[in-house]
Amino acid sequence: MIHAENLSVSYDDVDALADVDLDVDEGEFVTVVGPSGCGKTTLLRTIGGLQEPTTGTVTVDGDPPEVAQSAARLGFVFQDHTLLPWKSAVENVTFLRRMAGKDPDPAGARDLLTTTGLDGFEDARPSELSGGMKQRVAIARAVHLGADVLLMDEPFGELDEITRDEMGVEILRLWRKNRKTVVFVTHSVPEAVFLGDRCLVVAADGDADPAANGSPGRIVAEFDIDLSRPRDESVFGSETFGAQVARVRGALHGDT
Ligand SMILES: Nc1ncnc2c1ncn2[C@@H]1O[C@H](COP(=O)(O)OP(=O)(O)OP(=O)(O)O)[C@@H](O)[C@H]1O
């Protein structure tokens, strides 16, 4: 579904990403974990057609990302939820479909808001919602758009740990139901392991030494996550989960 080959991205004086080869299958949930500044957002933006690669190519279902984006086949969920403050939750959810020229389907949007735990808040404005609730609206909006691919950049980064765990369970439930292809960027190793079929570790040389900089991020390790599905909070206490988290942490610290 997503294919990237020999991808590198440089900004004016920063080499952000290099040598990325990546294939994500249809319906797969891939997580990307790595330290701050290693190029995770750059990777996601490049897959989404928001950033031009310096070298290499990316395709989404065989098309350039810009084509996939304009056909509303890509949905984005970012850390700052970018809801329209003057619109209600349900209007925010229907907005992108309307913009894409699709039937806005408010009844479907209301169902989706119920599924994401926002029953009774469909007509509330963003200012009346907590951070977690706003993020649920943003996720419902991306799913409602009907995109095949969801690109999520630290969507739970601003949330407290308990809400974050709940949102993880929620997103897996939605994913099971809608079977999207997901690329999910996070700083959190446990989150990356809990959510993913596969976890990519991105790091740059010198990440262990924050004073060193200048080298681009690369995919330095990749793990198939060996945890059965469906997964819920009970997974967190399991030995297998702990072992997988340790393996990913090891790779982040350069122990591969
Ligand atoms: N528009 C830009 N112009 C110049 N440099 C940029 C730009 N966007 C990102 N960078 C630089 O590229 C590198 C990678 O940034 P990126 O945001 O992709 O990393 P990240 O892993 O997502 O970081 P974080 O986890 O903190 O969000 C960093 O050195 C960053 O400062």
163-218: pLDDT as tens digits = 888 889 988 988 888 889 999 999 999 999 999 999 999 998 765 444 445 689 99
CA of 85 to the centre of ligand 1 (A): 27
Cβ contacts of 167 within 8 Å, gap of 6 or more: 132, 135, 136, 155, 156, 159
Whether the predicted pLDDT of 44 surpasses 80: yes
Q: Which atom of ligand 1 is nearest to the CA of 213?
A: 29
pTM comes to 0.91
Q: What is the pLDDT of residues 119-131, one digit of tens each?
A: 999 999 999 998 8
- Give the largest CA-CA distance in the chain: 53
Contact 230, 172 (CB under 8 A): yes
Complex-level ipTM: 0.96
% of the chain residues with pLDDT over 70: 95
Rounded Cα distance between 59 and 3, Å, is 5
Contact 58, 37 (CB under 8 A): no
CA of 16 to the centre of ligand 1 (A): 7
Q: What is the per-residue pLDDT for 210?
A: 46
| Token pair in block for residue 124 | 């509330």
Mean pLDDT of all residues in 67-90: 87
Rounded Cα distance between 4 and 43, Å, is 10
**Does residue 13 line the site of ligand 1, with CB under 6 A?**
no
**Does residue 216 line the site of ligand 1, with CB under 6 A?**
no
Q: What is the per-residue pLDDT for 56?
A: 96
Q: Which atom of ligand 1 is nearest to the CA of 34?
A: 21
CA of 14 to the centre of ligand 1 (A): 9
Model confidence at 79, pLDDT cuts 50, 70, 90, reads confident
Q: Which atom of ligand 1 is nearest to the CA of 43?
A: 18
